[in-house]
Structure 1
Amino acid sequence: MKTFKMQCKTEIIRVLRNRYFVFWSLLMPIIFYYVFTNLVNADVPNKAEWQAHYLMSMTVFSVMGSSMMTLGIRMVQERSQGWSTFIRTTPLSDTVYFAAQMVGQSVIHALSITIIFIAGALINGVSLKAFEWIMSGLWILLASLPFLAIGTLIGLMKKVETAAGISNVLYMVLAVSGGLWMPLDVMPKIMQTIGKWLPSYNFGSGAWEIVRGGMPDWKNILILIAYLVLFMLLSKYIRRKQEAV
């Protein structure tokens, strides 16, 4: 247990020292939030509701990117530098090592959620009930698991450049088509139909429902669980194939 705690602490420190994480997962979502709620859509009806809705979108956007890119690219870097091979020569087991990465990333997510929530309250005076703040934060934290699984898939790639390119494209495509940058209602019908089955939409939808006074739909939960299982099985299969080679 002591080894696990130390490894978790190490992973957290490594992420916080990563300028890429600070820029893309903290600064960019806050900048986007300010721009889309004060400059681009400053005169929308039900402004307070829109500001709370978009705060959830940008928080989901932040955590989704951190899960896929920060974790995935770091895993590729470790493999390319021989760090993963070195770990196998130490008493630290693979299970503890990967579990510590997941836990450390989740702690970082909790920090990101808190910072962006505070930014929303300061920038636009977003005011939610304590229950809504807590439940939306917990939802975003737990529902990020399928994206952590995507991060492990990206982490199986051989080159950092390939992982960075694919993760960036996938990140932006999921964000836009999942309704995080703009509501699905303004998109073409076919995009709406596809978008509602994407993990990004169901991730955001749960948080949107909470700030509207409801709770995540069971469809959101089941779709995210299905994606989590799919990505975990795929990651396990690919890792076994690589080890066999």
Structure 2
Amino acid sequence: MSSLTLAHTRYLMIEQLRVPIGLVASAFFPAVSMLAFVIPFAGDDPAAATRATGSMMLLGALSSAVISLSITVSQDREQPWNPYLRTLPAGPLPRFAGRILSSLAVMGLSVIPVVVIALVFTEARLTPATLGPALLTLVAASLPFMLLGLFFGFMMSSKAAIAVSQVAFFPLAILGGLMLPIQAMPAFIQEISRYLPSRGSGELMWWAIAGTSPDAVALVSLAAWTVVIAALAVWAYRRDEGRRFS
């Protein structure tokens, strides 16, 4: 990892820590969801509690990936410091990598309350042997959503990014089975969800943390969405660069 990437990561983390409400918000919603929904309805069932814990971990991570990343990138574009950085010969990669690494750090912090609540108040089967792969899976499962956050951030103003990222995220989370069990949804919703990136991310997480067999269609859809959203993020960056710096 280059020294420039580390420098950007350190700068962005310090920026996050100076306004800690963002860190609190990323952990608050999944933790409250654990207390309100998982403990009363699935806390005594080891299999259901383990799967629900994976869903809540993913929910917090994806919220940071889409909402927080889109807002911070769009706000950066409105600051006078950002045009200067983009004139430097280092190119966009160190700052992109720093942004992704700092987002991953925030995601890691957001899952801590969920894991603690699951260990203390539920019968979830969480061991180092399952949590390690689950955290690694969290990175892969969050990738398309981080790219989606970058896309929104480069396409929109900060005010628009706040609204659009939330409008996009919550339906994806619900239809992907992260807030409600897939089995509780109507049959046609269950079929539609297989083609959403959130369902593919959920399948990966449930496989890693609970040992369930992932849905092949959902995994293929996740890979396809990752490629498409990556292309959109690159296009949005180049479009922004062409409009603002040409």
TM over 0.5: yes
- In 1: Cα distance, 2:236 partner to 2:118 partner: 40
Answer yes or no: is 1:2 the counterpart of 2:14. no
For 2:82, the equivalent position in structure 1 comes to 84
Percent identity over the alignment? 25
For 1:50, the equivalent position in structure 2 comes to 48
Unpaired segments of 5 or more residues in structure 1? none
Map 1:164-183 to 2 at 5 A: 164-183=162-181
Aligned residue-pair number: 242
Counterpart of 2:206, as a letter, is: W
- In 2: Cα distance, 1:226 partner to 1:21 partner: 30
Map 1:61-100 to 2 at 5 A: 61-90=59-88, 92-100=90-98
Q: TM-score scaled by structure 1?
A: 0.89
For 2:145, the equivalent position in structure 1 comes to 147
Counterpart of 1:154, as a letter, is: F
For residue 139 of structure 2, give the secondary structure of its aligned residue in structure 1: helix
**Quick one: structure 1 residues 137 and 219, their matched pair in 2 at CA, closer, same or farther if it must change by over 3 Å?**
farther
Answer yes or no: is 1:36 the counterpart of 2:34. no
State the Cα deviation string for residues 117-149 of structure 1 (Å, max 9, x = none).
233212325333432111111111222110110
For 1:27, the equivalent position in structure 2 comes to 28
**Quick one: structure 1 residues 97 and 203, their matched pair in 2 at CA, closer, same or farther if it must change by over 3 Å?**
same
For residue 197 of structure 1, give the secondary structure of its aligned residue in structure 2: coil
1:207 corresponds, among 202, 205, 208, to 205
- In 2: Cα distance, 1:215 partner to 1:6 partner: 41
- In 1: Cα distance, 2:17 partner to 2:223 partner: 29
Q: TM-score scaled by structure 2?
A: 0.88
- In 1: Cα distance, 2:164 partner to 2:147 partner: 15
Q: CA deviation at 1:90?
A: 4.3
- In 1: Cα distance, 2:174 partner to 2:15 partner: 29
Farther-moved stretch of structure 1 (66-75 vs 116-125): 116-125
Counterpart of 1:122, as a letter, is: V
For 1:237, the equivalent position in structure 2 comes to 235
- In 2: Cα distance, 1:31 partner to 1:71 partner: 22
For 2:225, the equivalent position in structure 1 comes to 227
**Quick one: structure 1 residues 71 and 190, their matched pair in 2 at CA, closer, same or farther if it must change by over 3 Å?**
same
For residue 180 of structure 1, give the secondary structure of its aligned residue in structure 2: coil
For residue 144 of structure 1, give the secondary structure of its aligned residue in structure 2: helix
**Quick one: structure 1 residues 114 and 209, their matched pair in 2 at CA, closer, same or farther if it must change by over 3 Å?**
same
State the Cα deviation string for residues 57-108 of structure 1 (Å, max 9, x = none).
1110000010011111101001112332021244653221111111221222
Unpaired segments of 5 or more residues in structure 2? none
Q: CA deviation at 1:219?
A: 4.3
For residue 181 of structure 1, give the secondary structure of its aligned residue in structure 2: coil
- In 2: Cα distance, 1:181 partner to 1:153 partner: 24
Counterpart of 1:14, as a letter, is: E
